[in-house]
Amino acid sequence: MNDMAKKRKLILIGNGMAGVNVLEQLLKISNAFDISVYGDEPYPNYNRIQLSYVLEGSKTLDDIILNSREWYEENGIELHVGSRIVRIDTDKKLVYTSAGDAAEYDALIIATGSKPFILPIPGAGKKGVIGFRDIADCQTMIEASRRVKQAAVIGGGLLGLEAAKGLTQLGMETTVVHLMDTLMERQLDETAGGMLKAELERQGIRFLMGKRTTEVLGGEEVAGIRFEDGTELDAQLLVMSAGIVPNIELAQSSGIETGRGIKVNDYMETSAPDVYAVGECCEHRNVCYGLVAPLFEQGAVLAKVLCGAQTAPYEGSSVSTKLKISGVDVFSAGEYTDRPEHRVLRVHDGWRGLYKKVLLRDKRFVGAVLYGDVTDAPLLARLIREGADMTEELYQELFGGGQSSAQGCCGGGKTSIVQGMPDDEIVCGCNGVTKGDIVRVIQEDGFTTVDEIKAKTGATRSCGGCKPLVEQLLQYVLGDGYQDKGGGKKQGICGCTTHTRDEIVVAIREKRLTSVREVMMVMEWEQAEGCSKCRPALNYYLGMIWPAEREDERESRFVNERLHANIQKDGTYSVIPRMYGGVTTPEQLRQIADAADKYNAKMVKVTGGQRIDLLGIEKKDLPAIWEELGMPSGYGYAKALRTVKTCVGSRFCRFGTQDSVGMGILLEKKFERLWMPAKFKMAVNGCPRNCAESGTKDLGIVGNDGGWEVYVGGNGGIRMKEAELLCKVKTDEELIELCGAFIQYYRETGNYAERTSDWLERLGLEQVKKAVVDDLELRKQLIERVELALAGLRDPWREVTENEKLQRQLYQAIEVTAE
Amino acid sequence: MITQEHLGYRAVGRRSDFPAGLGRTVRLGNLELAVFHTTDGELFALENRTPHPKGGTLSEAIVSGHFIYCPLRDLKINLEDGRVQAPDTGFAQAYPVRITEGIVEIDVIRLTDED
């Protein structure tokens, strides 16, 4: 409390996504500010890009609120809603509200957003003429739909079409009036625009193309519009959606430099000292953005600038467009109209309604338009942004082979195993689902994907080991029908999204997303807060990509990784301390024995990984037993390095050629605590007799007279697999380097929950060899990145024993005594 | 037949005692509850026992909107009514929660099974 006086005063004008995002990013790295927020609208911050869902009725206002009033309270932010700032005194560093109050600032963020462009035509001020921009507009539209029948939307761009769709959904006869002959003509070519129009007409929207509106008709309220050619259209509600205008009046009248928007440099600084601007109100390098993605990138830079941290400059965003109308998939990026100088690659399938066009200049990707199937959108967005060259591989991936690059792991003739299986044989051993159960839902419910079968029967839900069998059953029952579906329809990482792991990882990097919620928002998750599948996965990917900057999100972790102990079926926990290389001391054993006694361990067991497990510990006792043990966490509950199993080696064994114990301890100490896609087990052996069983480890090392052999991708669990020889090395130093590079390569390319055995099968040993062994430059980079990730790790048990609030909130129950 | 008897609201703590986006166990005499603080700032209470026949607690669940995912076997449960979502079935007893001047209060319901 004493440092309150030293805090800097930060004022945010505009309580929308752009401004609040800056605060969220700032709060993650600093608590040096006293923050006040002034917002025009009488609501907390909500997700403006989802207004179209509110309009079409698939979401309520509450669903799209991003920051509840409690969020502001909990973070000590003073929120003034319905309060307008009318003047900024940039010399005295004061802002004035419309009520005449003044407030001082040390730093000021302007995030006033934009407003719809209202055509300057006679009658534009009549009642019933609105934009589509905020909750009030939505409410006006919903109300109007109850009273009147006909609506007109001026503007056939992204927002106009979303508004029209919503109004149609509300039961209104809706006509879109567009000045041009092609819809979304700033993103689509004629073909895609035409396909889009046909589909929307099928969904009930009417169109008047090539029409210039010259007058709004009616008395006090709008009754219709008149066009340049003299024709008229009846409408009792008129939505103007012909573009947006940045809100710059406040900045302008306060003497801050403006153009179309408020001018900012690469650090989001305006012309006035300590005044910044972000989002749709600002103009950066002559560009005003009207989409959501750039504001996260701008926010990340500004948060760092505010607290004086080092940051790369904001150099502009490459924007691509997606339409948010159900049943219509449209994507566009870069140049979209083909000209003579372009090389045009085009596929147009009028039967299935698919269109794909890629524009190259020489070999370079410069633009793309997709309609119907947007699977390749993230890849194309990246290629265009980077100005990449077309290669034979890329061509194959985008246009070749027929099948998309999805996980086509089932070949043609693999159905024989399931064919001969009796109906009552169990396919999913975890959930007791038989072949008969699965065949029945495929036939009776018409299911065609593993996910649907999972949702109905539970098969594949727990360990996932039976997924290949379920896939084969699908193929067996559906025949060719399965291949078609599997090839054409991609599956997202869970039921909340259609995005694949690779698309998500690219988006996190490119859009600089730093929290689970940002990913879900930008990538338009169907379940706003995700599920038990995607939340931990996103948390992992974020931590892998931003090891230094980002704080782990406890609430997105499974119970075991959140509490750093393994929950058992009776609600007690197991405690496994580190015992490096499986080596212990009498003193350590005494400590363990004492702790087991004191906290009533129900069982003391030697684990398969050469250490000791104390079972049956009460949750409330966990911090105390850790303190008592005085040993670091063994991570026996986590997707991380579990154990390094060793044999005795040259220190005692008469066959030993290498010091396996010494190397095992060294490797365990080096790589402990590192988060991985899945659990990770290692072994180090002193001779080829391999007593510590390297063949079933994720990373197994076998010593011999001249050095070490490195085996990878073994598994002794759900699906037995023998490890493969990655390489041989001569020195200890090179061994340690190789282990680091291998681990980091797995961390960066593995799917969440994918063990190295499946990962290696997917990538192929050759690719892994190339990256980790052959390419020395890449190896060096991998090592640098793994070192960076390792640098930020601390023992989680210590973290808890030193933090009373954590102990209370996570481990202790609230006891209310009976009256 | 199961009958419900409302024994009235009992104070169990302040809002800040409940970590946002997570659950916490509350013991009220013999009754053990899992109280969840959702990201929209609301609080919900369920009996701290998974409806899964093999048993286990709920307070360590992952919270998503007004749903939780059971920490042991991943059942998806609606916090508003305690109902388990398909493909699984069953339900956990839900207890009404209200907040009065920052104090969280839970309506204690006694269930009696009279055959």
Give the pLDDT of residue A803: 93
Q: Tokens 């809002």 identify what position? A: B15
Angstrom distance (rounded) from CA B54 to CA A636: 23
Q: Which residues of A touch B86 (CB under 8 A)?
A: 455-456
Which residues of chain A neighbour B87 with C-beta distances below 8 Å? 455-458
Per-residue pLDDT at A5: 52
CATH of region A129-242: 3.50.50.60
pLDDT tens digits, residue range A349-367?
888 888 999 999 999 999 9
- CA closest to A566 among chain B residues: B72
Average pLDDT over residues A582-608: 96
* Domains of chain A, residue spans: 2-114+246-306, 129-242, 329-398, 416-488, 501-557, 558-633, 636-794
> How far is it, in rounded angstroms, from Cα A479 to Cα B43?
49
Q: If we measure between CA atoms, which residue out of A794, A806, A792 comes closest to residue A622?
A: A806
Q: Which CATH superfamily is domain A558-633 in?
A: Sulfite Reductase Hemoprotein;Domain 2 (3.90.480.10)
Q: What is the pLDDT of residue A412?
A: 33
Q: Which CATH number fits domain A329-398: 3.30.930.10, 3.40.50.1000, 3.30.30.10, 3.30.390.30?
A: 3.30.390.30
Report the mean per-residue pLDDT for chain A.
88
A372 alpha carbon, distance to own chain's centre: 23
Asked if residues B103 and B10 have their Cβ atoms less than 8 Å apart, the reply is no
Helical (H) or strand (E) element with A379 = helix A377-386
Give domain B2-113's CATH architecture: 3-layer Sandwich (2.102)
Which of A151, A109, A87 is CA-nearest to residue A25?
A: A109
Q: Using beta carbons and an 8 Å cutoff, which residues of B are at the interface with A?
A: 10-13, 15-22, 24-29, 32, 35, 39-41, 54-57, 60-65, 69, 71-74, 76, 86-88
Among A438, A532, A568, most B C-beta atoms within 10 A, so best to mutate, is A532
Tokens of A385: 């942004």
Residue A305 tokens, joined: 């600038």
Residue A388 φ/ψ, nearest 5 degrees: -70, 160
CB A456 to CB B10 under 8 A?
A: no
Q: Which residues of B touch A44 (CB under 8 A)?
A: none
Task: Give tens-digit pLDDT for A75-122.
Answer: 899 999 888 999 999 999 999 998 888 999 999 999 999 988 888 999
* Contact between chains at B63 and A461 (C-beta distance less than 8 A): no
Domain boundaries, chain B: 2-113
Which 3 state secondary structure label does DSSP give A483?
Answer: helix
Find chain B residues with C-beta within 8 A of A68's C-beta: 39-41
- Tell me what pLDDT residue A324 has: 66
**What pLDDT score was predicted for residue B109?**
79
What span, in angstroms and rounded, lies between the C-alpha atoms of A283 and A289? 8
Q: Which numeric CATH code is attached to A416-488?
A: 1.10.10.1100
Architecture of the domain whose range is A2-114+246-306: 3-Layer(bba) Sandwich (3.50)
Nearest CA of chain A to the CA of B15: how many Å?
10
The partner residue sitting opposite B41, judged by closest CB among A70, A562, A817, is A70
Dihedral angle of Cα A263, A266, A267, A269, to the nearest 10 degrees: -20
Reduce the secondary structure of A153-180 to three states and give it as a string.
EECCCHHHHHHHHHHHHCCCEEEEEECC
Whether A2-114+246-306 shares its CATH topology with A129-242 is answered yes
Provide the 3-class DSSP secondary structure of residue A13: strand
Q: What is the pLDDT of residue A462?
A: 67
Mean pLDDT score, A455-484: 75
Q: Do B69 and A530 touch (CB under 8 A)?
A: no
**A688 preceded by cis ω (within 30°)?**
no
Mean pLDDT of A637-650: 96
Q: Which two tokens stand for residue A438?
A: 């699965």
Residue A409 has pLDDT above 60, yes or no: no
Local confidence band at A67 (pLDDT 50, 70, 90 cut-offs): confident
A28 exposed, middle or buried (CB, 10 Å; 0-12, 13-18, 19+)? middle
pLDDT at residue B55, rounded to an integer: 81
CA gap A426, A457 in Å, rounded? 12
Cβ-Cβ contacts under 8 Å between A and B: the total is 103
Kindly determine whether residue B27 and residue A530, on different chains, have CB atoms separated by under 8 Å. no
Would you state the torsion angle of the CA atoms of residues A255, A260, A262, A266, taken in this order, to the nearest 10 degrees?
Answer: -130
Which of A433, A557, A814 to mutate against chain B (most B CBs within 10 Å)? Answer: A814
Q: Is the pTM of this model over 0.80?
A: no
| Domain A636-794 is found in CATH 3.10.129.10 | no
Query: Of A68, A809, A816, which is closest to B41 when you measure between CB atoms?
Result: A68
Q: Which residues of chain A are within 8 Å of residue B90 when distances are taken between CB atoms? A: none
Mean pLDDT across the stretch A130-138? Answer: 89
Q: Show the DSSP H helices in A75-157 as ranges.
A: 135-147
pLDDT in tens, A235-276: 999 999 988 899 999 999 999 999 999 999 999 999 999 999
Tell me the shortest Cα–Cα distance from A429 to chain B, in angstroms: 14
ipTM over 0.85: yes
Residue of B7, B30, B40 to mutate, testing the A interface (most A Cβ within 10 Å of its Cβ):
B40
| Test the A interface: residue of B30, B60, B89, B101 with most A CBs within 10 Å | B60
